[in-house]
Structure 1
Amino acid sequence: MNRIKAVALLSGALFLGACGQPQTAPAPAQPSGGHTAAELGLSPSTSPSGRWFVELEGEPGTLSAQSLRAQQQSVLLQAQSAGIQFQEVASFQTLFNGFSVDIADAEVGHFTRLPGVKAIYPVDVIEQPQLQEGSSTPEMFSAIGMTGADIAQNELGLTGKGIKVGVIDSGMDNEHPAFAGRVVSQYDFVGDDFDASTTNGNPIPQPDPIADDCGGHGSHVAGIVGGNDPATNFKGVAPEVSFGSYRVFGCNGSTTADIMLQAMERAAQDGMDVVNMSIGSSFQWAEYPTAKAADRLVKRGVVVTISAGNSGANGQFATGAPSLAEKAISVAAVDNAEISLKSFNLTVDGTARSVGYMLASGSAEPEVGKVLPVVVADPVNACSVNGGSPFAENQFSGKAVLIQRGTCTFAEKAKNVAAAGASAILMFNNAPGYISPGLGEPAIKIPFASFLQSEGEAIRADVQAGKTVTVSFNAGEQRFKNPTGGSITSFSSYGMGPDLDLKPELSAPGGNIYSAVPLQSNGGGSDPSGYGIKSGTSMAAPHVAGAAALLLQAHPDWTPEDVKTRMMNTASTRWFFSNGQPLPGTPIYTQLQGAGMLDIPAAHASTVFAAPAKLSLGESDGMPSRSKVVVLTNRGDQPQTFTVQHYPALSVAGTTYAPKPSTGRATMTVNGQSADLDSAGQGGVQVTVPAGGQVELNVTITAPTALDAKSDYAQYGGYLVAKGTAETVSVPYGGFQGDYQKLEAMGPVYFVQGSQTTKRDFPALYDPALDLVYFENEQPGKLPDYTFLTFDRVVGQRGLKVLDAPTLWVHLDHQVQTVIMEAVDAQGTAHPVQTFPYVGRNSTNVYQVGTDARPWNDYVWDGTYADGAKAPAGQYQLRLRVLKALGNPDNAAHWEVYTSPAFNVVRGAASPD
């Protein structure tokens, strides 16, 4: 069985919901005999044990729900007749033709052989993000100003009234004043105690009639979409939308993808106009069931906005499903332009200014108003020297001491400075941006304030120049400009999709966003005001969902494609930077920011649009230049003239797991003329689009020919920008420079050779029910002999543990198009065993064997071939063949192959005695 680790934002679990009848959840699967994951030092799968999607032939929507259910029942009856042990969990007929089942490892291959089964996919488990505490100030700061939502509300009169937005999440606090009276549809799929990733507590869904929120994430997301609390002046993007609330999380823990899919079907049935999913499984494919369902939701006329994922630290190709769906809008996260901070007054020779800071955890609250003289520590890093403090006792008595981050731990710095009698510690960063230090235990009894590098350098210079510098701490919080504001957050996931489709597609504020949290009086919430701060692409997607509601209110005739196209065409890259420095005309990776920052007023006012809204160019190997047609359409009553220019972005070189910027740039021609800019920023191709007419742009993009990183491949990208006197239209593009098939797919593979825990001094053990003989693990010089059971079984009266089935533990470094496992007999004939389509990659390239948990996939052979026949006794090897992403199955170079050591299959009438 292939169990794939799911690392992501949020997603779905087991249960029934809107489709089918409730199913009794089976008991958790027992561990198999032989090696356990812990014994191997490998991490067990994070997918629910034995939980799979089974997809059937036939597209939802072409047949009635009754016909689809009848087809599904036929397959389930065939499975029962074949003796397959399974438990149906949920069935789907609206957005997906199939069902989810709990099934033992050894039975998975049997299900794939049933007539009418198209494919099977693991049901991913996704953890619920935890709400971060923040300011109690109930406003969204500059976030809605970054997208122009404030202009849309105040100048255009758009509020989202009449538009229904479905929020698939942890529910909403129905009693929160920000949502009062506006939740028109709701469904709880899980109940408070549900947690898909543990057998502790209650892993069985217990739905409640009210989809209330005790986890906090869903209320925060909904507040961004359209919260409206006049008493506190809090407003989301679309403050008069109506809500559909679909709860897929308990108060804590995780959920699974089949619950997620049920919620999507329910939102479709409830007639939502927009659906937001701040949820997903990273490192996936667009073919994953939730992604397919998202596309079908769009086809039904629903705008679908989905967070790209928070896996930026895990390298390229990390954007998740369902965000990879072709027609959905995949949203990256940008840091808020402003941030709320505690502050102190810094006075230099009588001139005061306010400095924002973050208080270290484990330090004391400052005494408000007390004036302290500032001195600079020497050494400024305040680290120990030869194991002891560099400072004398009472050296800093009554002083605020300036130190710098770096070299040693925060706790060591704090201990040394506090022991020298300081009244406060002022630490400045050694890199751009704010940090929140953690001191651990024991805590210190003085305040420890952390602030910007630039402020600290200025304070140090003033003190060293002999100026009189003092500090006094203020009460409350203030708003400060965020030095990383407007840049892509460090956690936002890289694209592209493994099919080289350009994802993510749009950016919106997602770092340090204020919004609603459950009221403490309602059993949740970390702030009594009912508001808090959170960061994530989870916070970016609802900005786009709210924007979609505003645009649909203003343009009720727009289709979901119209909304997506206008948003992407009018997005701006003006916010984005590279390596902390603005590079005009050279935006950062397209594979991180997509089309750029959402601009709601520009999308609303656009009369000229470009289609397609993005260009996915594929790989350049064998075809370095790609030609596409972009059509400019003018819906206005006046002709418009544009200068079409090319803005190449940085290329993403390095490895999949460790991306690095490259200065390699693509080139572009439009209608046979160069659209590239010269060194003075001049150039381009002029076109005029008549009123009510169209113009075709024949665009040819040539991939970079050289990279400055030690790599022969990279993701490249950029923008076609049509600048007019009244409007600007932009189209992002992305491609893969070089041979995509050179990316390695398989990391290490482990062949599990029987049990290390059973005794070795017994002869063959026979199970007459299965006509299989099992030998204890081998004597020296002999091949291992295997059973094919994947659970413990008592044999005879000795109570011996049967050996585990032969298993391959595989780490995937990149998504693969197909995984095929074969049993190769002694004559060299390969017998197909199992086939898995569109398998996601693992989350990290670290595959340490030991106690450290790492993600692996496991493939188990049950002793039968794909056609159901039992393998005869004899010598075998397991062979795993993986077809690389976008690989040609007829090209041997596009396959990676692993062949296990030999082992024996023994069948016969041996006695267990």
Structure 2
Amino acid sequence: MALLAVALVALFSVSAAFQQHDAATSRYVRNSYFVEVDASSSSLSKRGLTPFAALSRTLAAVERKGIKYTVRQRFESLPDVFHGASIQVPDGVSLDELSKIDGVKRVWPVQKIYLPREPAVDDYVSTSSMASQRLAKRTSSSFEKRATTFPPASAYAGDTFYPHVETGIDGLHNSGILGAGVKIAVLDSGVDYTNPILGGCFGPGCHISFGYDFCGDNYNGDNTPVPDDDPFTTCTSHGTHVTGIIGALANQYGVSGVAPQATLGHYRITGCNEIASDDIMVAAMMRALHDGVDVINVSLGSVVSWTNNSPTQIMAEYLASQGVAVVASAGNDRTEGLFFAEGPAAGLATTAVGATDPIYWVAYNATLRNRGTVPYMSPMPFNITRTSLLYFTSTDPNVASDACTALPSSTPSLVNRVVVVRRGGCDFAVKLNNLAKAGAKIVLIYNSPNTLTLPQFNVGTTGLEAVGGLRYEDGVRLLDLFKSTPRGQPITFPFGPLVSGVVDGVTGGTASYYSSYGPTNDLNLYPSITAPGTNILSTVVGGLGIMRGTSQSSPLVAGAYALILSQRKNENLSPQQLKSLFMTTSAPIPNTYGSSTLDSVISQGAGRIDVGAALAAKTLITPAVLELNDTGFPSRTQRLTLSNRNSDAVTYTFSSTIAQGMATYDNGVQSDVIPSTSPDDIDTPLFRISYSDNSVTVPAGGSASVTVVFTALRYSNQQTAEFPIYSGFIDVRGTSASAQVQAFTVPFFGLASRMIDMPVLDTTGAALGPNLPFLAVGQDIATAPITVSRSNAPTVFFRLAAGTRRLRVDLVAGDIDFQGTIPSVTNPTSRLAKRSKNDLRPRATPALFNDVPTVGSIFAPDYYPPRDYLVNGPYPYSDYEYTLDGKYTNKDGTPGTASAGVSYRVLIRALKITADPSLSSSYESWLSTPFQYSS
């Protein structure tokens, strides 16, 4: 192809069709990278270096390249697992350039980690002003420290706290098992330890006895952290809430932590704007190991899609190898669809915790004169002893827009009334403001029938005195009383502890609507287990509050781990064994309330934890999950090993239960490309599972193995195109010589398609309007060769619709003999870009990946990139945007600059999952239209 004439320009104007996002600002810390140094013993001995000298020498090599850097964090204490530093470099220094420097093993960009927001409720707009408050940090010297007064074990007996009751924690508390002797660290946003339910002080002798602030109030990911020795904060309640779930002390409200006698600490890793970075998280993990922690809880993370692929995941797995159990939230990203695992939770030894809606509501009792009581939801009892009369703004429970407009002038005075309204028709804030304007002081909102649990209500600036929630059936009961009591039904709200047994008959016990799906791209189970996470009552800044999310289910499991470790110390259970113990004793949950069909294991993991069963179980089963892989690399013959730690022989028998199947794509990969954000349930076809032994007897202290064989599954072509996940449970029943029965379950799952067929590059217009990938100058998309200036350089836009083990963006010659799997020009068009079939090699494409001639590299990460966000990320439909300023990295690591008047193209190649990275045909690829620089 001849060189382009300078005047040749062809741009398709779409100035209103797409909006650029600053991906680097949202997803990564600007110009910051983890630089891992090769500190292996063989490498060090060959070079005659110590690990510390190796890091110094590598950083010196960075400086010799003319790269001025500043160190963000140094990681020198664990050279066997991760040795290096996170550094910030000037604009224009690329990841590729750093990766080629002598002594560098791997390079990752430093990623921002956003503290999970509470999952949205469609009709809920918070009236609280707490989120906007940013109070000055209060140091330990600004108030008088006092030692915590620890309640005795008897204060936790008779535990009726609702998440404890449904997970068996109450039984351990009633037996005096409270986590004594176990050390737990919370990595989160800081803690208000002045809350008396958390002990009121910090340091030795206090309930929160150790910790550190790694960042300071003003840290936003990009600026310099200001650490200190005090993790106190009042500018966010997330960390305080998480800490209370683990360790809240007994109190008059009836709420308590899972392990209140454990030694509890807090490492603050976010500032007041609730942004962390993964280099600070790694530093906190290292600190926890050196502080002798037994269990770590991490209730935040970021999408990784793969197992053990990021620095936080690598560190979490190393901690497990050193006896530290890492428990992490699975994420609140269910609307991102399947194959959306987060780090550090996605790890072979790390426990990823999903969330369920509790079987019971958090509730206090209001008293109805001569009519008993009625439970209402509130973080604390109203404690209003004056008598008021019930009043309903509508006497028809089918009216969905109750109080959505200003109340009529005929409305009686509401000052001495308890006003009850039904959910629906408008945001809660609209209802509350209308009621407040009409003079109401106390409001109860009752749920719509067959609707999600109500959120916590806040009075905010409405002027209301108190707002609470009611179940639908309780609202209807009060309505009947209101209509049948002409003189009015008196009601009071005396102080009292939580009441037990208030059943959620709509979604109780099922997977929460926000809890993230798995599995990982390498088809490892995700999440591991589930626990109650919706509407959990715990400590917040200055009191108690109700929050929801996997941030709440994760610390419940971390505390449960501490309970078991405190009682089984002599067994020296490893984190992997502890995880297996909890998984195999968990209770599988239904896919809908009251259903006999079990939820998919990629939604619930092994099921909801049963801590009593975990304590009693003396059988260890490995593996704790049977991962059957895909149809390209099936693993249908599995082996279960049962280790009997009982005092007598146990006979084990085997059966199976099928769980719900799920589809990854709505209509099939040839048309969808992007995974569904509301995956369809599909029927899992019946198939036969056979065992090498239907019954096996294992002597005390012995072990035995059983082979499990799964027959091939039959799906239609349409189902296969939807990438269906099938799953179920192996049911293991153990009967001892003394006739004691033990029940265990082992989840299994597989993919009835080939991962190699999963589309990797997004070719749709869902993200930006025009079809991806494309090259643009400003808002104009190139549809033919163009000439550009370096001051107004083009940008290449692309998205990953799935994760990839190898992503390369290269600068190539404009006349390269290469045909991509995606057309160079896909705009203007209203149709989906045509995708070449995976099993056909495009004409003239070299056989080997390395045979493709390149000018230099623009972006070539050593880590495995995850797929982009669809809904919940820093912005919807996150993408990659690289401005082509002419700079690239040569193969030897030296920087290069494109010449003026020379024709170039951009080549994007993304390896298909499970494909051979050495073959060119293993990649989805896109070659841009030619461009050249005018000067």
For the Cα contact (< 8 Å) 2:34–2:109, is it kept in 1? yes
For the Cα contact (< 8 Å) 1:811–1:847, is it kept in 2? no
Which amino acid counterpart does residue 49 of structure 1 have in structure 2?
R
For the Cα contact (< 8 Å) 1:54–1:98, is it kept in 2? yes
Closer/same/farther in 2, CA of residues 666 and 247 from structure 1, 3 Å limit: farther
Work out the CA distance in 1 between the residues paired with 2:418 and 2:228. Answer: 54
Aligned to 2:646: 636
Alpha-carbon distance, 1:717 to partner: 1.7
Closer/same/farther in 2, CA of residues 111 and 732 from structure 1, 3 Å limit: same
For the Cα contact (< 8 Å) 2:659–2:726, is it kept in 1? yes
Q: Which runs of 5+ in 1 are unaligned?
A: 1-34, 198-202, 360-364, 518-524, 674-684, 758-776, 788-801, 908-913
Closer/same/farther in 2, CA of residues 231 and 400 from structure 1, 3 Å limit: closer
Aligned to 1:842: 868
**TM-score normalised by the chain length of structure 2:** 0.75
Work out the CA distance in 1 between the residues paired with 2:264 and 2:432. Answer: 48
Work out the CA distance in 2 between the residues paired with 1:709 and 1:782. Answer: 42
Work out the CA distance in 2 between the residues paired with 1:425 and 1:161. Answer: 41
| CA displacement 1:45-93 (0-9 Å, x = unmatched) | 3122112222333459997998233222222222222223433322213
From 81, 85, 98, the counterpart of 2:84: 98
| CA displacement 1:345-390 (0-9 Å, x = unmatched) | 679xx8665253679xxxxx998432447862497234799xx99x
Work out the CA distance in 2 between the residues paired with 1:62 and 1:273. Answer: 32
| CA displacement 1:737-778 (0-9 Å, x = unmatched) | 212233322225354544579xxxxxxxxxxxxxxxxxxx99
Which amino acid counterpart does residue 882 of structure 1 have in structure 2?
A
For the Cα contact (< 8 Å) 1:612–1:630, is it kept in 2? yes
Aligned to 1:568: 583
For the Cα contact (< 8 Å) 2:459–2:467, is it kept in 1? no
Pairing of 1:599-610 with structure 2 (within 5 A): 599-610=610-621
Aligned to 1:785: 788
Alpha-carbon distance, 1:328 to partner: 1.1
From 532, 535, 538, the counterpart of 1:515: 538
Q: Is 2:921 the partner of 1:897?
A: no
Aligned to 1:730: 745
Aligned to 1:697: 706
Work out the CA distance in 2 between the residues paired with 1:233 and 1:60. Answer: 55
| 3-state SS of 2:56 partner | helix
Alpha-carbon distance, 1:631 to partner: 0.7
Aligned to 1:333: 355
For the Cα contact (< 8 Å) 1:237–1:543, is it kept in 2? yes
Aligned to 2:279: 258
Work out the CA distance in 1 between the residues paired with 2:426 and 2:193. Answer: 47
Q: Is 2:912 the partner of 1:884?
A: yes
**TM-score normalised by the chain length of structure 1:** 0.76
For the Cα contact (< 8 Å) 1:433–1:453, is it kept in 2? no
Aligned to 2:346: 324
Aligned to 2:838: none
Aligned to 1:5: none
Q: Is 2:327 the partner of 1:305?
A: yes
Q: Is 2:148 the partner of 1:120?
A: no
Closer/same/farther in 2, CA of residues 904 and 589 from structure 1, 3 Å limit: same
For the Cα contact (< 8 Å) 1:506–1:593, is it kept in 2? yes
Which amino acid counterpart does residue 534 of structure 1 have in structure 2?
M
Bigger CA drift: 858-867 or 486-495? Answer: 858-867
| CA displacement 1:308-360 (0-9 Å, x = unmatched) | 1121232222231010121111111223333334666679xx8665253679x
Alpha-carbon distance, 1:733 to partner: 1.7
Q: Is 2:903 the partner of 1:875?
A: yes
| 3-state SS of 2:71 partner | strand
Which amino acid counterpart does residue 52 of structure 1 have in structure 2?
Y
Closer/same/farther in 2, CA of residues 884 and 427 from structure 1, 3 Å limit: same
Q: Is 2:833 the partner of 1:810?
A: no
Q: Is 2:61 the partner of 1:78?
A: yes
Work out the CA distance in 1 between the residues paired with 2:409 and 2:347. Answer: 63
| CA displacement 1:454-512 (0-9 Å, x = unmatched) | 44566778999x89896544315753333333222222211111211101112222222
For the Cα contact (< 8 Å) 2:402–2:422, is it kept in 1? no
Which amino acid counterpart does residue 69 of structure 2 have in structure 1?
F
For the Cα contact (< 8 Å) 1:402–1:427, is it kept in 2? yes
Pairing of 1:612-761 with structure 2 (within 5 A): 612-621=623-632, 623=634, 626-655=636-665, 656=675, 657-665=677-685, 667-672=687-692, 685-702=694-711, 704-706=713-715, 711-725=721-735, 726-747=741-762, 748-749=771-772, 751=774, 753-754=776-777
From 856, 859, 879, the counterpart of 2:879: 856
| 3-state SS of 2:636 partner | strand
Alpha-carbon distance, 1:736 to partner: 1.6
RMSD: 4.3
Q: Is 2:242 the partner of 1:221?
A: yes
Work out the CA distance in 2 between the residues paired with 1:273 and 1:715. Answer: 35
Alpha-carbon distance, 1:107 to partner: 1.5
| 3-state SS of 2:93 partner | helix
| CA displacement 1:656-701 (0-9 Å, x = unmatched) | 322121122463523258xxxxxxxxxxx33322332222111123
Which amino acid counterpart does residue 651 of structure 2 have in structure 1?
T
Work out the CA distance in 1 between the residues paired with 2:468 and 2:190. Answer: 36
User: Percent same amino acid among aligned pairs?
Assistant: 26
Q: Is 2:496 the partner of 1:474?
A: no
Which amino acid counterpart does residue 304 of structure 1 have in structure 2?
V
Aligned to 1:493: 516
Work out the CA distance in 1 between the residues paired with 2:282 and 2:322. Answer: 15
| 3-state SS of 2:732 partner | strand
Aligned to 1:42: 21
Count of residue pairs the alignment pairs up: 791
For the Cα contact (< 8 Å) 1:38–1:44, is it kept in 2? no
Work out the CA distance in 2 between the residues paired with 1:231 and 1:659. Answer: 44
| CA displacement 1:152-188 (0-9 Å, x = unmatched) | 2332x43322222222223344555535524454222
| 3-state SS of 2:302 partner | coil
Which amino acid counterpart does residue 332 of structure 1 have in structure 2?
G
Work out the CA distance in 1 between the residues paired with 2:31 and 2:300. Answer: 22
Bigger CA drift: 87-96 or 397-406? Answer: 397-406
Q: Which runs of 5+ in 2 are unaligned?
A: 1-13, 119-125, 131-154, 200-204, 666-674, 736-740, 763-770, 817-852
| CA displacement 1:842-885 (0-9 Å, x = unmatched) | 2216999xxx8652223355433432354455101101111133
